[in-house]
Amino acid sequence: MGTYAVTGAASGMGKAAAERLRGDGHSVIGVDLRNVEVIADLSTPQGRAAAAAEVLDRAGGRLDGAVCAAGLGGIPGRDSLVQQVNYFGVVDLLEAWRPALAAAGNSKVVVFGSNSVTLTPMVPEKAVRALLDRKPAKALRVVGRFGKRSAPFAYASSKLAVTRWARRAAISPQWAGAGIRVNILAPGIIATPLLDEQIARGEKASVEQLAVPIGGRGNPKDVGEWVAFMLSPAADFLCGSVIFLDGGSDAYFRTDDW
Ligand code: NAI
């Protein structure tokens, strides 16, 4: 049985993944704002450093895997928070955990992206590049140009940046070369508190109008199954892949984009 760090383990898909892993007999170290082993605020550098260190301490310097599910939806007025949690809350923790993941020999990482990276029209490339260059103030200025409509662009650019970061890491000597498989899960509309918040804050129409060929909404418990699969030996040959779990929305909008 392994030891796994799961951020965002108090709610939604992170919670479902943590429960699924525990059900299989693994040890899970949850990281979140509340109700988990490691209470931390991933929106600040200090919070991220403390979370990373406490997890390493609890894991004894060896991690079989990590799931980065902590995240915030795009709501007006919190572009900076979205960038800090969705991008730096993944990258800083994984960088800190890399030696512990390498120590396990054959470890796996699941990063939560989003199908918004392909569904949002004109995700600002400059914001994505600024995040990858660790220039959050610049990324904020770029999305700020969208004025009151900046929230979806802040969200999609944070998710595109983290997806690109994960794909770069996945194929590098420091990660792939150390036996660490990094992959990205890109959910669509999944029924979680994050989605409820989006709807309550005025996104009802865009959620309801989104094309979902298979219909309905995804179930967080099913996403937990996917996470467990992506951490299992069956996923040994999966590296740098972006798995869209979205009822067909990405295929609908990008049918022939391959
Ligand atoms: P959720 O809101 O149910 O869970 C997210 C968790 O992240 C919460 O427990 C929250 O406390 C934690 N979190 C937020 N800010 C934090 C901070 N500063 N420090 C520590 N923890 C923090 O959301 P859900 O839907 O389960 O989302 C999981 C991931 O999936 C997120 O990264 C989200 O962006 C992504 N996603 C969600 C979709 C959806 O439709 N629900 C669609 C596409 C992607």
Domain ranges of the chain: 3-244
Pocket test for ligand 1, best of 6, 7, 11, 93 (most atoms within 8 A of CB): 11
Relative orientation angle of helices 136-144 and 151-170, to the nearest 10 degrees: 140
Right CATH for 3-244 from 3.10.20.30, 1.10.10.60, 3.40.50.720, 1.10.760.10: 3.40.50.720
Residues near 118 by beta carbon (within 8 Å), at least 6 away in sequence: 250, 253, 254
Residue 123, number of CB atoms within 10 A of its CB: 21
Count CB-CB contacts under 10 A for residue 236.
11
Cβ–ligand 1 distance for 194 under 6 Å, the answer yes
Q: Is the CB of 3 under 6 A from ligand 1?
A: no
Tell me the per-residue pLDDT of 207-218, one tens digit each, with 9 for 90 and over. 889 999 999 999
Residue 207's pLDDT is what? 87
Which residue's C-alpha comes closest to atom 32 of ligand 1?
71
3-class DSSP state of 222 = helix
Q: Where are the beta strands (DSSP E) in 172-217?
A: 180-187
- The DSSP letter of residue 147 is G
Contact call for residues 90 and 158 (beta carbons, < 8 A): no
pLDDT one-digit tens code per residue, 67-120 = 999 999 999 999 999 999 999 999 999 999 999 999 999 999 999 999 999 999
State if residue 90 touches ligand 1 by the CB under 6 angstroms criterion. Answer: no
Average pLDDT over residues 221-245: 98
pLDDT digits (tens, 9 = 90+) for 236-250: 999 999 999 999 999
Q: What's the pLDDT at 112?
A: 98
pLDDT tens profile 13-29: 999 999 999 999 999 99
- How far is the C-alpha of 127 from the C-alpha of 40, rounded, in Å? 26
Asked if residue 114 has its Cβ within 6 Å of ligand 1, the reply is: yes
pLDDT value at position 205? Answer: 84
Mean pLDDT, all residues of the chain: 97
CB distance 105 to 138 below 8 Å: no
pLDDT band at residue 202 under the 50/70/90 scheme: confident
Proportion of the chain above pLDDT 70, given as a percent: 100
pLDDT band of residue 204 (cuts 50, 70, 90) is confident
Alpha carbon 98 to chain centroid, angstroms: 16
Distance 218 CA to ligand 1 centre (A): 14
Catalytic residue positions, numbered: 155
Which ligand 1 atom lies nearest to the CA of residue 47? 19
Atom nearest to 155 CA in ligand 1: 34
Residue pLDDT, tens place only, 143-159: 999 999 999 999 999 99
Q: What is the ipTM of this complex?
A: 0.99
pTM, whole model, 2 decimals?
0.98
The ligand 1 atom nearest the CA atom of 34: 11
Q: Is the CB of 67 under 6 A from ligand 1?
A: no
CB of 192 shorter than 6 A to ligand 1:
yes
> What does each C-alpha distance from 75 to 3, 80, 119, 200, 249 come to in angstroms?
34, 11, 17, 10, 21
Q: Evaluate if residue 199 carries a pLDDT over 90.
A: yes
Which residue in 82, 76, 105, 78 sits closest to 2, CA to CA?
105
